[in-house]
Structure 1
Amino acid sequence: MRKSLVALSVLAAAAAVPAQAEYLYGFGNVSVNYLDWSNGTENRSGKEDFSYLELEGGAGFSWGELYGFADLENLENGTDDVRTSIKGSIAVKTGLKELRGYGQLYNTNSNSFTAQNTVLGMSYSFSGDNWAFNPWVGFHHTITTKTFGPEATGSFSGMNGGMLGWSAMYNFKAFGESFMVSNWHETEFARDDAYLATSGESDDLTANGALALWWNVTESVTTGVQYRYAYNKLGQQGHDNAMIYSVKYNF
């Protein structure tokens, strides 16, 4: 029920945006991706490589920006092991230069665990002709449950410190082709001890993100490789890292 209430609150906030807003830009794509964990990560954690399908989109308006994606993961290992992940964010202009009110919701579900992270805070938009950098910071609320079979082995619901992060991109030309470098990053801090006791993670400071190089083969097709990294996240202590190989169809 609480998950539903949080999701409805985010939708209500989006609905409150003025209907007369001017549309400025937008993008959307569907992609096929393969995540290949490093040997060290597999040895430390037992994680397995997997493929996933992703639907992604975003738009800019006179009042601010929207972004979101939905993933269907681990398809090759049967329906019992399929995971779903969704993420949505909204940045609303305050009228104070490029300062924005910011909200972010991430939710992932599988047979063995569920997790929801909600952030409410502020962001700022820096941008130029070929680049953008959008840092943000906010209060962090977490709902997580780890299940193995019919019984829960650990759960947490409540405020969980803060989170800060950014999204960044740079477009450039090379060898007569169009490329983009992008990076998203999140760091959690001052996490609750009760959360750490059930999460399998340690320390109240984390890192989570990806650094990517994209090649725009045509207007409709983009391919890329991402370096995925995490520290004291994803249900374990220490470092995780992987490479992700992607092909997108842009519409």
Structure 2
Amino acid sequence: MRLNLFKIKLTNFMSKKFLPIAILTSLTPFTMASTTTENSVGYQNGFANISLNYFNWSQRAENKSAHTTGKKDFAYLELEGGTNFNWCELYGFFDVENPFHQRKTEPSKNQRYAVKTTGRFYLGDSSFNLYGHLYGIWSLPGYKYGGNFHEINTLYGFGYNFSLGDFWLKPFLALHYVDQTFYSGNNGYVIGWVAGYSFQLWSQNFSITN
């Protein structure tokens, strides 16, 4: 078990700027109860952490949404974890957005809750896998302050795992189904990927991910 008081990550997603600023606790790796349990479920490794973050929208995104959703920067508390088995890999997080707020007159400043789960289930000994992805966000109940909103995005399709030395790439192709306050139904296709490169610097392990 390892205890990290601070951790810095930088991630970009479309027009959003994502800056986690402090990790409160990090636990890695997971340990299983016994060797027998490890062998029976195929467990390999995993991680978990708790972080306090700040999400900074670009000025362009804020300007474009000024008369619609009114995007505003916000802090959020996150529980995050992932694990690898010899037959699948799983990842997920739970976020409390605006954790220090309860009700505000601006919907963008209300407290919200977000959940994401991702799974890749290997197809035999090939590099292909069944891909599943669910992301949902819910606002506080009640319509008075712009609450009672929800949106759940479900992706289901196929993925592929590629690695070369310390570099890895995991693309996927999936159907997209959305269920939200104002609309529910199929919403096209999604092509995406995650990629990373691991290296050592000053005898420490680092990774760059996209």
TM-score interval, normalised by the smaller of the two chains: 0.5 to 0.7
- The structure 2 residue matched to 1:61, chosen from 46, 66, 85, is 85
* Unaligned 5+ runs, structure 2: 1-38, 105-109, 140-146
How far apart, in 2, do the equivalents of 1:36 and 1:118 lie? 25
* Aligned-partner residue type, residue 45 of structure 1: S
Match of 1:106?
135
Residue 97 of structure 1 corresponds to 126
Q: Check if 1:122 corresponds to 2:158.
A: yes
2:102 corresponds, among 72, 78, 88, to 78
Alignment check: 8 A CA contact 1:74 1:83 kept: yes
Structure 1 gap ranges (5+): 1-18, 146-154, 184-251
- How far off its partner does 1:160 sit? 1.5
In the TM superposition, residue 97 of structure 1 has moved relative to its aligned partner by 1.4
Kindly provide the amino acid, as one letter, of the partner of residue 24 in structure 1. Q
| 1:230-245 mapped onto 2 (5 Å cutoff) | none
Q: RMSD of aligned C-alpha atoms? A: 2.0
Confirm or deny: 8 A CA contact 1:50 1:76 kept in the other structure. no
Q: Cα deviations across residues 78-98 of structure 1 (Å, max 9, x unaligned)?
A: 345111110111111111511
Which residue, 167, 172, 177 being the options, matches 2:199? 172
Of the two structures, which has the highest relative contact order with CA contacts closer than 8 Å and spacing of 6 or more?
A: 1
Q: Which residue pairs with 1:212 in the alignment?
A: none
> Is the counterpart of residue 45 in structure 1 residue 65 in structure 2?
yes
SS at match of 2:64: helix
For 2:75 and 2:206, the matched residues in 1 are separated by 24
Residue number in structure 1 paired with 2:142: none
Task: Give, as a single letter, the amino acid of the residue that structure 2 aligns with 1:30.
Answer: I
Amino acid aligned to 1:158: G
1:177-216 superposed Cα distances (whole Å, 9 cap, x missing partner): 5432111xxxxxxxxxxxxxxxxxxxxxxxxxxxxxxxxx
Among candidates 25, 40, 51, match of residue 45 of structure 2:
25
TM-score (norm 2): 0.68
- Number of the residue aligned with 1:142: 178
